[in-house]
Amino acid sequence: MATFGYVQLSSDRDSNFLQVCDIGRSDRWFVDSASSRFVSILKRPKFLEARKALRKGDTFVVYATDLLSTNPKELLQALQSLRRKGATVVVARAPFTLASTDGKAYMALLRTVVKMQVRLQRLQW
């Protein structure tokens, strides 16, 4: 069972340093550049590489969920895809895992936000 660290590089060196420090020890690192922040998480090369390499029982650690995506629907899809692989997902800044009580509440809230967005889009606000 391996630990995978996912880092979203930015021009702020302190932010990069904090991400690596809070993630801690990792067997493999996956680093996406700042320019990919505006690219869907489901299309980022290093995220896709990490997801492909993950095996059941591995751990995927990210500093914060907003580094994966600020779009709730994309974020939910990305987190669910990691869980389907059988990986433990850890959010270092919070800190919680998606399997913990806080993580389950976070996922429930995220699902609710996505449902609300879909309903609002149907109303064509």
**55/34: higher pLDDT:** 55
- CA 107 – CA 77 distance, rounded (Å): 11
pLDDT at position 36: 56
The CATH number of the domain covering residues in 3-123: 3.40.50.1390
Taking 70 as the threshold, does the pLDDT of residue 74 lie above it? yes
pTM of the entire predicted model: 0.87
**Those residues with Cβ within 8 angstroms of residue 87's Cβ, 6 or more apart along the chain or in another chain:** 4, 54, 55, 56, 57, 58, 59, 60
- What does the domain layout of the chain look like in residue ranges? 3-123
Residue 17: pLDDT band (50, 70, 90) is confident
Taking 70 as the threshold, does the pLDDT of residue 34 lie above it? no
Residue 37: pLDDT band (50, 70, 90) is low
Taking 80 as the threshold, does the pLDDT of residue 23 lie above it? yes
**Those residues with Cβ within 8 angstroms of residue 45's Cβ, 6 or more apart along the chain or in another chain:** 32, 36
pLDDT at position 78: 95
Highest mean pLDDT out of 8-12, 39-43, 101-105? 101-105
* Mean pLDDT value across residues 90-105: 92
pLDDT at position 39: 83
Residues pairing with 96 in the sheet:
91
* Mean pLDDT value across residues 86-92: 95
